[in-house]
Structure 1
Amino acid sequence: MDTIRAMQVFVRAVELGSLSAVAREQQSTQPTISKVVAALEKEMGVRLLERSTTSLSPTEAGRRFHERARRVLDEYGEAVSDARGMSGQPAGRVRVSAPASFGVLRLNALVLAFQQRYPEVEVELLFDDRFVDLVEEGVDIAVRLGASLPPNVVARRIAVSPRLLVASPDYLARHARIRQPADLARHQILRFTWLAAGDEIVLDGPGGQAPVSASCRYRVNNSLAMRESFLAGAGFGMTPAWLVQDLLDSGALQRVLPRWSGPAQEAFLVYPSRRYQPERVRLLLDYLAQAIAGLPGLTPV
């Protein structure tokens, strides 16, 4: 049995969800592809795929084997390219996970620019505010902002973003002037529902720290919704600078108590703790480390 080809067929079957699709891709027939997978299962002594008349999915053993087989094939492909002197053009797929708002607002454009530079690299960008299991979900790189990091991953700290108090000029014109933190008690604060410290906000500024006390009628768990709420004049709030720096620069939002700020939000690139990484993953890691740190509202570390 050609083990490398069998692994390639199996990996593509999982990715495409169909043996017929693999057969079309490889200009073969469905019975031939099915025999290749069956031979691989016989060789391993375990069922890798669950088949029905309408669907195909990996078994638990198949899911685990798929992740490792994909890495083996990546390394094999790069070894062949290197031996042939063709390693200068990276190719293949990279799966990237990122928080939804940061992904839509900032990361999407960076990834598209990367693909202009490396047209043979495929990127699958997954927006999810939960921290996904990188190995289980086949994620090569995850962008995390200020979140606690799980064990068994490598975390590369790339930037920090100060947390600022902001509001729209319209809101500030319609409400009592804010000169010091105590004045915020007369205003409406917009809060993120997932703040780790709950409702408590402590500012750092001249003379030390000051707690923020303000009534809250609106909470939201999405940064883009919070950004729109600031623009709508619904109240003031604390936000990482990357979310609103463009609006501050244009004057659409203004800083409140500009000499005061909250704890900075840290930005990390996270990847599975394994020694081997395909060249395309290493290139994207290095590119994102530099590009994210250069975004408005973020400072390299």
Structure 2
Amino acid sequence: MKSFLAIAETGSLEQASQKMRVSSTTVFRHIHALEKETGARLFDRVRGHYQLTEAGADMLQPARQIMNSFDAINHHISGRDISPSGLVRITAPTSFSYFLLPDCFARFRETYPDIQLELLASNQEFNMTQRYADIAIRIASHPPDHLVGREIRTISWAIYGTPDDAATDDLDFLLQQDFIGACGTLRSHPVYQWFEKSHRGEIHQQCDDLIAMAHLARAGNGFACLPTDLAVPGLKRLTLLNDIAPNRLWVLTHPDLRQVERIKLTMRWIANTLKNDPKLSTTERQTA
């Protein structure tokens, strides 16, 4: 049933297997067995994309109800766990996974050696109700209704360049320089919509990924508008974009897990670390 829901949500055998952390062969075998048991074809494969058949669509809601019932049982049982030990699965955006969490996890391990951390580095929002992850680090205006936690901090946007770039924080001057623009889905973000209206210089390169954009800027391909969690080594923050609404950072979990000791300890540690991380500081101009 988990394999069926994973494919229904992602439309891909490969992405479903990554979500479930099993092989594609295992997911395919599960679907084949389910179709044999129900006597109906559940998916059509169209141009490599899995689409629900009519029978599959009819099965979707009951399948979700069944899995939610199993998850409620698992959450109730795991909620009794008061030992600071065991596995904690954490999903986080790739920028945090690459640049901020490694040091955080290293110090955590020294303090809580019996808690094992599993990091799911992805910008995709994992389905927390199906226990793909226990804790979610998310950038969002508001957290999903089915999760609980707290807002840790805001993350500002700024203009970045190389240490050799013009030593000025004058925004009007900077906006006349060469920039790396956004493309793809990234272009629809409010900061890049503002940028395209305000920018009076030249855009010779574009990118649909923030981490790649940061590395392009570091290599001297132009200035870039980036959130402060993307301050990769070798970039210099030139000026904050104070008129751009900052990102809001949350640490969240499922309501039935918030009293589990290992979850509480891990959430508290991550929250305190990110809240006070100097890499996210906006008090002064910064060279990473």
- Asked if Structure 1 and Structure 2 have the same fold, meaning a TM-score greater than 0.5 normalized by the shorter chain, the answer is yes
Question: How far apart in 2 are the matches of 1:285 and 1:92?
Answer: 14
- 1:233 and 2:220 are equivalent in the alignment: yes
Change (3 A) 1:276 1:144: closer
Which residue in 1 is equivalent to 2:176?
185
Give RMSD over aligned pairs: 3.6
Secondary structure in structure 2 of the residue aligned to 1:234: coil
Q: Distance in 2 between matches of 1:296 and 1:77?
A: 34
Counterpart selection for 2:75 from 54, 60, 71: 71
1:85-164 alignment to 2 at 5 Å?
90-146=84-140, 149-164=143-158
User: Which 5+ residue runs of structure 2 have no aligned equivalent?
Assistant: 1-19, 23-29, 34-61, 283-288
* 5+ residue gaps, structure 1: 1-14, 18-48, 53-58, 79-88, 203-209
Q: CA deviation at 1:143?
A: 0.5
Q: Do the aligned residues in 1 keep the contact of 2:214 with 2:224 (CA within 8 Å)?
A: no
1:220 to 199, 207, 226: 207
1:98-143 residue CA offsets vs partner (Å, 9 max, x unmatched): 0012112111331232122111112221111022221124422100
Cα distance 1:170–1:145, how it changes in 2: closer, same or farther (>3 A)?
A: same
Distance in 1, matches of 2:171 and 2:79, equals: 59
Question: Matched residues in 2 for 1:145 and 1:215: separation?
Answer: 30
Give secondary structure in 1 for the equivalent of 2:176. Answer: helix
TM-score normalised by L of structure 1: 0.61
Specify the SS of the correspondent of 2:277: coil
Relative to structure 1, is the Cα distance of residues 229 and 139 closer, same or farther in structure 2, using a 3 angstrom cutoff? same
Higher strand share: 1
Number of positions where the alignment pairs a residue of Structure 1 with one of Structure 2: 224
Provide the C-alpha distance between the structure 1 equivalents of 2:174 and 2:209, rounded to a whole number of angstroms. Answer: 27
8 Å CA contact retained: 1:163, 1:240:
yes
Tell me the CA shift for residue 69 of structure 1: 3.8
Structure label with greater radius of gyration:
1
The answer to whether the 8 Å contact 1:163/1:239 transfers is yes
| 1:293 match | 275
2:261 is equivalent to residue 279 of structure 1: yes
1:168-179 to 2 correspondences below 5 Å: 168-170=162-164, 172=166, 179=170
Give the aligned residue type for 1:145.
I
Deviation larger for 119-128 or 68-77: 68-77
TM-score, reference length from structure 2: 0.64
Between the aligned partners of 1:107 and 1:241, the Cα distance in structure 2 is 15
Matches of 1:115 and 1:77 in 2, distance apart?
20
Deviates more, 1:106-115 or 1:68-77: 68-77
Q: Provide the C-alpha distance between the structure 1 equivalents of 2:177 and 2:135, rounded to a whole number of angstroms.
A: 44
Alpha-carbon separation, structure 2, partners of 1:276 and 1:188: 44
SS of structure 1 residue aligned to 2:129: coil
Q: Percent identity, please.
A: 21
Inter-CA distance 127–287: structure 2 relative to 1 (3 Å threshold): same
